């Protein structure tokens, strides 16, 4: 090669903290790690309310300009993609505005603070025809994608059980304050953690018909829930549990799930995100759970990386996710099924809302999903 001919896409980013760092790294790293990239991200502008912080973020991550008013991103003709990483309360308006201005949109999860808001975001954005991605990045863990491929290939047979729990343990602290503010966050562990469990449950097993459970707040004066406990019934007849908590001491980022089918089982823990546990029926004498180190040339996403056994990190899931979204834009292909669309964001919100309804009603709650 010599010169190359990959098109650029201008990126506007709303938010500069934890997720801003993660997505900026994703855009910068995919440019050379996924080669050739589908589009070359040009970091045009970043928006945030704290001027000192957002200007430093712009310098740090290489954005050409910064602003304290997100409307500037929407009106910027150099921007072709808005990546909305703001607090949950700031998901709807900028995302819809950007889409209506013709920009492709990425929005952090949860899509809205409830199903109605999520539905509205989906409906308005879908009407514009732009590409949309709800940033459930855990679909882009190599082991998770491998799980999906094994399931799609029928290697598990019919699925009977899903057990998912997202356990963290920082809930006794006062850190990350907007996440404890009901107005900004909508909910606590529910939207923050359980939404991830719901999304992977849907991605791996299928749509959810019914939940029964409750949210619980342990910390005095906290506005949002600390924990979620629920049973779940899937449309395909599988049953199981969904849990999330910020109060499981010793579990730092333990998004764990297990799936049992008629021919095999899978198990996973995000704290060992390079590994998938695989059980398949077969010779009784040598069967058991196999620890698959998901880092082979034939494994998902691994064409971009290192020789086998040289593991990737959590931050690299964003490289995969944003690469997928840029490819969908470049080639005008569907974001689904591997990327979560705003419809997926909405459907996850319906499940979370149903858990809240169940928490109040004391009843298992059926879930109905709206279409466009």
Q: Which stretch binds its own copies (CB under 8 A): 73-81, 186-194, 230-238, 321-329?
A: 230-238
Cis peptide before 343 (omega within 30 of 0): no
Binding of its own copies at residue 305 (CB under 8 A)? yes
The binder of its own copies chosen from 177, 288, 368, 371 (CB under 8 A): 288
The binder of its own copies chosen from 308, 327, 330, 357 (CB under 8 A): 308
CA proximity to 324, closest of 297, 296, 300, 293: 300
CB-count exposure of residue 250 (10 Å: 0-12, 13-18, 19+): exposed
Site for its own copies in 130-169 (CB under 8 A): 146, 150, 160-161, 163, 165, 167-169
- Tell me how far apart the alpha carbons of residues 178 and 184 are, in angstroms, rounded to a whole number: 6
User: Which residue lies nearer to its own copies by CB, 362 or 371?
Assistant: 362
Q: How far is the CB of 13 from its own copies (least distance, A)?
A: 13
User: Which residue lies nearer to its own copies by CB, 59 or 75?
Assistant: 59
In order, the DSSP letters of 179-190 are GG-HHHHS-SHI
Q: How far is the CB of 99 from its own copies (least distance, A)?
A: 28
The binder of its own copies chosen from 49, 77, 173, 287 (CB under 8 A): 287
User: Which residue lies nearer to its own copies by CB, 129 or 288?
Assistant: 288
Binding of its own copies at residue 261 (CB under 8 A)? yes
Binding of its own copies at residue 272 (CB under 8 A)? yes
User: Which residue lies nearer to its own copies by CB, 55 or 114?
Assistant: 55
Q: How far is the CB of 289 from its own copies (least distance, A)?
A: 5
Gyration radius (Cα) of the chain, Å = 20
Binding of its own copies at residue 240 (CB under 8 A)? yes
User: Any residues with CB less than 8 A from the CB of 83 and at least 6 apart, and which?
Assistant: 11, 12, 13, 14, 23, 105, 106
Q: How far is the CB of 325 from its own copies (least distance, A)?
A: 21
The binder of its own copies chosen from 89, 126, 271, 327 (CB under 8 A): 271
Binding of its own copies at residue 363 (CB under 8 A)? yes
User: Which residue lies nearer to its own copies by CB, 313 or 371?
Assistant: 313
Q: Of all helices (H) and strands (E), which one includes residue 73?
A: helix 71-75
User: Which residue lies nearer to its own copies by CB, 287 or 370?
Assistant: 287
Site for its own copies in 311-330 (CB under 8 A): 311-316
- Tell me how far apart the alpha carbons of residues 60 and 21 are, in angstroms, rounded to a whole number: 9
- Tell me how far apart the alpha carbons of residues 242 and 201 are, in angstroms, rounded to a whole number: 9
- Tell me how far apart the alpha carbons of residues 266 and 276 are, in angstroms, rounded to a whole number: 7
User: Which residue lies nearer to its own copies by CB, 118 or 230?
Assistant: 230
Residue with tokens 């996850």: 348
User: Which residue lies nearer to its own copies by CB, 75 or 262?
Assistant: 262
SS (H, E, C) 96-114: HHHHHCCCEEEECCCCCCC
The binder of its own copies chosen from 72, 222, 253, 330 (CB under 8 A): 253
User: Any residues with CB less than 8 A from the CB of 355 and at least 6 apart, and which?
Assistant: 190, 194, 211, 213, 214, 215, 228, 230, 242, 365
Site for its own copies in 43-102 (CB under 8 A): 52, 55-56, 59-62
User: Which residue lies nearer to its own copies by CB, 161 or 222?
Assistant: 161
User: Any residues with CB less than 8 A from the CB of 152 and at least 6 apart, and which?
Assistant: none
Long-range contacts of residues 297-302, Cβ cutoff 8 Å, at least 24 apart = 299/142, 299/146, 300/142, 300/145, 300/146, 300/149, 301/140, 301/142, 301/145, 302/142
Binding of its own copies at residue 200 (CB under 8 A)? no
The binder of its own copies chosen from 170, 182, 222, 327 (CB under 8 A): 170
């Amino acid at each position: 090669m010599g010169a190359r001919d990959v098109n650029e896409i201008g990126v506007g980013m709303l938010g500069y903290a934890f997720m801003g760092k993660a997505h900026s790294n994703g855009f910068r790293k995919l440019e050379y790690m996924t080669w050739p990239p589908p589009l070359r991200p040009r970091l045009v502008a970043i928006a945030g309310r704290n001027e000192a912080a957002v200007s430093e973020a712009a310098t740090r991550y290489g954005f050409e300009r910064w602003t304290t008013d997100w409307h500037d991103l929407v009106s910027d003709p150099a921007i072709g993609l808005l990546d909305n990483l703001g607090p949950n309360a700031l998901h709807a308006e900028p995302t819809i505005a950007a889409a209506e201005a013709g920009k492709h949109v990425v929005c952090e999860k949860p899509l809205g603070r409830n199903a109605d808001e999520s539905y509205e975001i989906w409906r308005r954005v879908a009407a514009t025809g732009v590409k949309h991605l709800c940033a459930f990045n855990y679909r882009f863990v190599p082991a998770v994608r491998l799980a999906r491929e094994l399931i799609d290939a029928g290697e598990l047979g019919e699925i009977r059980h899903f057990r998912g729990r997202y356990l963290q343990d920082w809930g006794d602290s006062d850190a990350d304050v907007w996440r404890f503010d009901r107005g900004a966050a909508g909910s606590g562990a529910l939207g923050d953690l359980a939404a991830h469990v719901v999304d992977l449950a849907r991605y791996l097993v299928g749509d959810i018909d019914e939940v029964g459970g409750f949210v619980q707040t342990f910390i005095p004066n906290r506005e949002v829930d600390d924990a979620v406990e629920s049973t779940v019934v899937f449309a395909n007849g599988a049953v199981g549990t969904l849990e999330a908590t910020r109060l499981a001491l010793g579990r730092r980022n333990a998004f764990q799930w297990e799936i049992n089918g008629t021919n095999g089982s899978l198990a996973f823990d995000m704290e060992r995100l390079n590994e998938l546990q695989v059980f398949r029926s077969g010779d009784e004498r040598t069967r058991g759970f196999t620890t698959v180190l998901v880092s082979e040339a034939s494994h998902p996403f691994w064409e971009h990386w290192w020789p086998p056994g040289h593991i990737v990190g959590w931050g690299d899931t964003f490289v995969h996710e944003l690469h997928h979204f840029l490819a969908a834009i470049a080639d005008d292909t569907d974001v689904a099924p591997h990327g979560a669309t705003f419809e997926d964001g909405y459907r996850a919100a319906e499940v979370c809302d149903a858990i809240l309804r169940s928490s109040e009603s004391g009843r298992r709650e059926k879930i109905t999903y709206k279409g466009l």
